[in-house]
Amino acid sequence: MLGLDRYSKGFARTLALLGFFGLLVLALMTTLDVLLRWLFQAPIHGVNDVSSVVMAVVISASIPANLAMKQNITVEVLGALGGTRVRNVLEVFASLLTFVFIILIAWQFVPYAQSLRETGDRTWVLAWPVWPWWSFSALMMILAAFVQAIVLAVDVRTLFVGPSPSE
């Protein structure tokens, strides 16, 4: 289980790095567009098109890493008051709710991407098909569900067995 947890964290970090690279390219392209508009009144056509599809990919690529590293917002007052056992029970409960929520999101992303393909939606200026970008985002959400399942399993293990030596 610990090997799978370590592998999923590494894979999730790689996806987040891909998302960060996409965000960097988008920021550079936007900056260049602003400079060209300001200096030469010659904007880069299609920057908004690229932004609209790349942002879905950038955001969805970072979700598995957020889940794997447990970087979501938490309120730990009850766990601190109740001790280690109560904190571990609340961790399992929170991981389970997060898992269900991510599954519901992935469950909605897949038909949304399929509907974009069926309708042939395209970006406004560049006329890029939108469905491949949202299909990638749906895949990222499915991977996020797998990552969260591993997080849940580790939390359940911690509840019943205790933390592993590497934690």
The domains of the chain are located at 2-160
The residue whose two tokens read 């970090």 is 13
Listed in sequence order, the DSSP H helices in 69-130 are: 77-82, 84-119
Neighbours of 28 (CB within 10 A): 10
> Can you tell me the mean pLDDT for 149-166?
90
Chain centroid to CA 109: how far?
A: 12
The residue whose two tokens read 């019943």 is 160
Band of pLDDT at residue 1, cut at 50, 70 and 90: low
Chain centroid to CA 48: how far?
A: 22
> Can you tell me the mean pLDDT for 88-96?
95
Q: Does 75 score more than 80 pLDDT?
A: no
Q: Are 161 and 85 in contact (CB under 8 A)?
A: no
Q: Are 92 and 161 in contact (CB under 8 A)?
A: no
The pTM is what?
0.91
Q: What is the pLDDT of residues 133-142, one digit of tens each?
A: 999 999 999 9
- The pLDDT mean for the chain works out to 93
> Can you tell me the mean pLDDT for 72-98?
87
Q: What is the pLDDT of residues 2-35, one digit of tens each?
A: 789 999 999 999 999 999 999 999 999 999 999 9
Q: Does 74 score more than 90 pLDDT?
A: no
Residues near 118 by beta carbon (within 8 Å), at least 6 away in sequence:
none
Phi, psi of 122 (to 5 degrees): -135, 160
Whole-angstrom Cα distance, residue 150 to residue 158?
12
